[in-house]
A and B are shown apart, each in its own frame.
Chain A
Amino acid sequence: MEYLSTDKILVIDLGTGDIEQDEIDEGLVQEKIGGIGMTTYLYEKYEKDEPIIIGTGLLSGTTYPSSASGQITAKSQVTGKLCHCPVIYKVGLEIKYSGFDYIVVKGKSDKPVYLWVHDGVADISDASGLWGKNVWESTDELRKFVGDDLLQTMIIGPAGEKGSNFAQVCFNHWSSPDRFGFGKVFGGKKLKGLAFRGMGMIEVAEPEDFVQRSLEILKDIKENSFLGNKGVGAMLGALKEDGMGDYLDPVTHRHSADYFTPYATNTALFLDEDPGLLPESKKDEPGILVSDIYALAAFKKLGLSVKDTGLALKACAKYGIDPFAVATLCGKTTLADITGSFDTIRGEVAIPGRGLFTSWCPVRPIFNDFGLSSEDETLAWWERRQAVAMIFGIQPMFALMCPEITENNLLELANLGTGLELSQDTLDAVVQHICG
């Protein structure tokens, strides 16, 4: 596969230590498009090896607005279903630029390992020194070891190592959209995580047209008045979670965006530092970056002060445990009790619809209404929107905000980028296969 692709699938067997690289057949892209179309195919191909499939969308890391996301596809040991977790921040981007469109992780290691993926090569590395460390310590140590602060990680903390049903695969230092307990799947394979870095180049079949159309789409997107907002508080406000703005204001530092995403979906809270500080903080860990709007709202509902909510979110991110599960299932109401409960939480987090996509994304539009009326219609729209976003690599929260991200223009840009002729029928078939 020559365009919009590294042309490489990495296949790693943790049991034998074998590492192989496969080329990506153009015919397969014509059939499965990419993202979770392809990770689902790869999962089915390697199913007997209980694989974790990591992938990128066909448009990930391009100039298509919000082409930020990658995907983790695996069978959740909690729900028993094949589920898809979006890879957000700048981590999805780095997967592709480190040299691979897809990574298949098969089998189980008998000792802790991590995968170091960089510039088109991959190593299985000893993680015995990282095992037992929390998410922040592990990411910091990997960055120090490689000597690169821009190293991007997928990592588990103690929750994943201990096999908690609520263990997340975290990204860099932060909580992730993982509501499927994928941290437990990593932990069961003695896989501490993956580290990505690369300076690859992605070729485009029709670069000028691709970039020109990207700009036209971006200009249309910028007409939306919701882009006057930033951050998680405004998103919760649009979802009628009242009072969030006032609650967060005293600790809000800045808002930041995932790669090429016009809306800043992440908000940093400063807990141990003046939130109005503009110069670099002298403190190493002044706060927490928040992307999980429902975890934030759930801690507030427990009656925590905003500072304690921030500290609870930070403790969850370090431990590598789903903060929404903690907030809704722990049955505690003080920070000390909440952070002391991580190993004893029981219960279930509801996964909407067919159980494929994460409830980290609201099951309804944000800021715009997309002309939806009934609940059933909204749920069907949401599942399709999530599937399409994760086939092409679109930031899944932004896909719920922005009507200018259309199946039509995604296909158009995919065709300009690849030189293939992907049709609406192909997309329908891929979505149908994923959603069943």
Chain B
Amino acid sequence: MGIKINALKCTNCMACEMVCSYHRDDGFAFLSACIVAYRAREKKDYFGVLLKEEEVLIVARPEGLEINKIGEEADPDKKADASAKPMLLREGCDLCEDMDDYGPMCIAFCPVDAITLD
């Protein structure tokens, strides 16, 4: 089981990033999120979502999903984003196993239901 992101539905609001970080930190920050709204190509209006799982980095791009095994070279033409690098050091998605009242926080809080359980 994992989470599935529909990057075309995503509006780049960062709610998932905030609540994911909250589930680890108990405060408001963006430091520990393993899901990140990538937004560094602002002038090109190119955005989607990055998700770090235990061994893979999933890049949910508008044109489709890309799954990169952590440690392997990514396609140099498709540099994920400035946000990808620090994410590699963070803990992977645990499906918010400790958040009994919510289940996966990013799914609960995504305002446009762009994230679902797979």
CB distance from A436 to the nearest CB of B (A): 33
* Chain B residues, CB < 8 A from A222: 111
A284 touches B43 (CB 8 A): yes
- B116: chain A residues within 8 A (beta carbon): none
Set of chain B residues within 8 Å of A200, measured between Cβ atoms? 29
Q: Is there contact, CB below 8 Å, between B31 and A199?
A: yes
Bound CA–CA A214/B45 (angstroms) = 29
Q: Are B31 and A287 in contact (CB under 8 A)?
A: no
Interface 1/0 per residue, A283-306 and B, CB below 8 Å: 111110100000000000000000
**In the complex, A213 has a CB within 8 A of chain B:** no
Nearest chain A CB to B55 CB, angstrom units? 26
Docked-complex contact A278 and B43, CB < 8 angstroms: no
From A90, A204, A287, B28 is in contact (CB under 8 Å) with: A204
Q: Given A90-B39, A150-B39, are A63 and B109 neighbors across the interface (CB < 8 Å)?
A: yes
Residues on B with C-beta less than 8 A from A215 are: 102, 108-109
* A61-81 near B? 1/0 per residue, CB < 8 Å: 111010000000000000000
Q: In the complex, are the beta carbons of A256 and B28 less than 8 A apart?
A: no
Asked, given contacts A149-B82, A259-B14, whether A279 binds B25 with beta carbons under 8 Å apart, the answer is no
Are the CB atoms of A280 and B46 closer together than 8 Å? yes
- Chain A residue numbers with a CB within 8 Å of B41 are 149, 280
A225 vs chain B, min Cβ distance (A): 14
Whether, in the assembled complex, B73 has its beta carbon less than 8 Å from a beta carbon of chain A, the answer is: no
Q: Is B118 an interface residue (CB 8 A)?
A: no
Q: Per a CB cutoff under 8 Å, which of B8, B28, B101 touches A62?
A: B28
Task: Please count how many residues in chain B sit with their CB below 8 Å of the partner chain's CB atoms.
Answer: 36
A-facing residues in B48-71 (Cβ within 8 Å): 61-63
Distance from B1 Cβ to chain A, minimum over Cβ atoms (Å)? 22
B89 within 8 Å of A (CB atoms): no
A-B contact count (CB 8 A): 115
Taking CB atoms, residues of chain B closer than 8 Å to A270 are 45
- The complex places the Cα of A255 from the Cα of B62 at a distance, in Å, of 12
CB 8 Å contact bits of A205-236 with B (1 = contact, 0 = none): 00100011011001001100001001000000
Considering only CB atoms, which chain B residue lies closest to A202 in the complex? Answer: B28
B29 adjacent to A149 (CB under 8 Å) = no
User: What CA separation (Å) do A222 and B104 show in the bound complex?
Assistant: 18
Residues of B within 8 A of A257 (CB): 11-13, 111
Minimum C-beta distance from B9 to chain A (A): 10
| Contact between chains at B39 and A65 (CB < 8 Å) | no
Contact B12 A201 (CB under 8 A): no
Whether B31 lies near A289 (C-beta < 8 A) is: no
List B contacts of A12 (CB < 8 A).
none
A268 to B14, CA, bound (A): 18
Query: Which of chain B's residues 1-33 have a Cβ closer than 8 Å to chain A?
Result: 8, 11-15, 18-19, 22, 25-31
**CA of A280 to CA of B43, assembled, Å:** 11
Provide the residues of chain A in CB contact with B44, threshold 8 Å: 280-281, 283-284, 286
Instruction: Give me 10 A-to-B residue pairs in the complex whose CB atoms sit less than 8 angstroms apart, sorted by A's number.
Output: A62-B28, A148-B82, A149-B82, A150-B39, A173-B42, A200-B29, A203-B27, A260-B111, A281-B44, A287-B45
Given A201-B29, A256-B45, A261-B111, 7 extra CB contacts under 8 A = A63-B15, A149-B40, A150-B40, A199-B29, A256-B47, A286-B43, A286-B45
Residues of B within 8 A of A (CB): 8, 11-15, 18-19, 22, 25-31, 39-47, 61-63, 82-83, 101-102, 108-109, 111-112
The 4 A-B pairs of least Cβ separation, nearest first, read A268-B45, A262-B111, A149-B40, A278-B63
